[in-house]
Amino acid sequence: MSAPHLPKVAGIDPEVPVSTQTAAPLREIPAAPGAFIQDRLAGWVSDLTTLHELTERLAATATLDAALNELLHAGAALVGARRGLLVLERAGSTTPSTTLGLGLGPADLGHLETVERSATALGRILDGPPEAADARDGIATPDLLGDQDLDPRHREVATRLGYAASYALPLASEAAGRLGGAVWFYDEPGEPSEKQRHLVGLYARYATEHLARLTELERARADIATVADELLPSRLPRIPGVRLAARHRTGPQGGGDWYDALPLPDHALGLAVGSVGGSGPSAMAAMGRLRASLRAYAVMEGEDPVAVLSDLELLLRLTEPARTATALFAYCEPAARKVVLAGAGHTPPLILGDRRCEYVETTLSAPLGMLACWEAPSVEFSPAPGETVLLYTDGLLRRTGDAMDRAFARLHSAAASVPKADRHDPAAVTDHVLRAMLPDGLDRSDSTEDVVVLAAHFD
């Protein structure tokens, strides 16, 4: 017979032997970790929190200038310095170097530039091989004035500016390479601790990656702006009886807003503004094709703006059926002060003078490319001597952030508020309108809208 099995209770296997040894009763509570360990843990948490906050602030910067300023301030806070200097220069790049100071005025930067580059820690970092130990870990000079081998000119500048120590650090990473370097100045002899060096090194490597991205982005934006400028008139024509001024800003991705002014037979003048749907290189290329086509049609039949836009509609529908565009073309006879215009889905012009400030009533019509056959009546009006006709794209209205009806009212108010002394200067008129409409400036980098303003002042 087999031995009887004991019943299982609450998941306990009765066949497992029970130890006959019992643990001694707990007579005292284990001591908590020492204060030293607690302080170390608290310090690590504080350092990580600080580093996280600084990198978050850096990541929020959208322009290179803002990122460089943030880097200088954050680095100064990490190493315990008050002043600093940053130089951004990529090895082998044709882009000019960028120099930025913290707590240093233009005169101070000028004094620092008189010191031979090889005599400074920052210069050795910038000019030395990337694999050098100093180029990786930074160079601390805890007592500049006590250094017997210090360059005499460097000693003179340090005494004049009142700094006694420095810490230089490269801006480098494995992916981005070396972009430049930064140096922070101490008012008294001293140097950052090992922990400070470790934190600022981590921060600098992250900052380098961010700066590399912003550098490439700004280079792309500059290339886009250059292409956009090349697609627009290099200069405005001079026609007796009328003076012209234009302002244009291309969005960071490149857009399709454009303008044109071309002399026509019999001392006439053709004015045009328009916008191609979309953004990027494709929209810019379409804008260039559309503007070139309109110039050709304007030379052939510019006295009839409706025919010009009808031809443009047919061309767009046959060659780029998936694209839409708005356009406005005006045929001007300055000697007779006569303007005939037609618009295709475009914003109406604004006429400004001493006695009136009003929108020109144009016929409602669909944009180019949206109808099988486009045609709308033209509008004729006569600017009085001293009046200015303002043509613009809807990017000017959208940049305000207001609803369109409020943006139109804001534009009207901006034009009406032009001082009388400036109303005979088309450039002054456009600049005043832009300042009133866009207080943050025409070149605000966080806007994706193109802006075009074209002013024609009739003498």
Residue 48 in domain: no
Are residue 166 and residue 253 in the same domain, yes or no? Answer: no
Residue 430 in domain: yes
Are residue 268 and residue 175 in the same domain, yes or no? Answer: no
Are residue 352 and residue 398 in the same domain, yes or no? Answer: yes
Q: Residue 256's closest CA among 283, 280, 231?
A: 283
CATH code of residue 260 = 3.60.40.10
Residue 391 pLDDT more than 90?
yes
Q: What is the pLDDT of residue 94?
A: 56
E strands along 307-434, which residues? 325-333, 338-344, 350-352, 357-359, 379-381, 388-392
Summarize pLDDT for 168-177 with one digit per residue, the tens.
999 988 888 8
Query: At residue 112, what is the residue type?
Result: L
Are residue 219 and residue 245 in the same domain, yes or no? Answer: no
Summarize pLDDT for 127-145 with one digit per residue, the tens.
877 666 555 678 999 999 9
Are residue 310 and residue 184 in the same domain, yes or no? Answer: no
Summarize pLDDT for 235-254 with one digit per residue, the tens.
899 999 999 999 988 776 66
Are residue 349 and residue 442 in the same domain, yes or no? Answer: yes
Summarize pLDDT for 253-272 with one digit per residue, the tens.
667 889 999 999 989 999 99
Residue 14 in domain: no
Residue 18 pLDDT more than 90?
no
Q: What is the pLDDT of residue 170?
A: 92
Are residue 139 and residue 247 in the same domain, yes or no? Answer: no
Among 158, 191, 224, which residue terminates a domain?
Answer: 224
Among 169, 193, 224, which residue terminates a domain?
Answer: 224
Are residue 241 and residue 213 in the same domain, yes or no? Answer: no
Which residue segment(s) compose the domain that 308 sits in?
A: 233-458
CATH code of residue 196 = 3.30.450.40
How would residue 9 be classed by pLDDT, with cut points 50, 70 and 90? very low
Are residue 147 and residue 244 in the same domain, yes or no? Answer: no
Are residue 392 and residue 409 in the same domain, yes or no? Answer: yes
Tell me how many domains the chain contains: 2
Summarize pLDDT for 95-130 with one digit per residue, the tens.
668 899 999 999 999 999 999 999 999 999 988 776
Query: For a pLDDT cut of 70, what percent of the chain falls above it?
Result: 85
Are residue 182 and residue 273 in the same domain, yes or no? Answer: no
Number of H helices, E strands in the chain: 12, 15
Segments in 260-398 forming alpha helices (H)? 281-301, 305-319, 394-398
Q: What is the pLDDT of residue 10?
A: 42
Are residue 274 and residue 201 in the same domain, yes or no? Answer: no
Lowest model confidence (mean pLDDT) among 139-153, 188-202, 247-261: 247-261
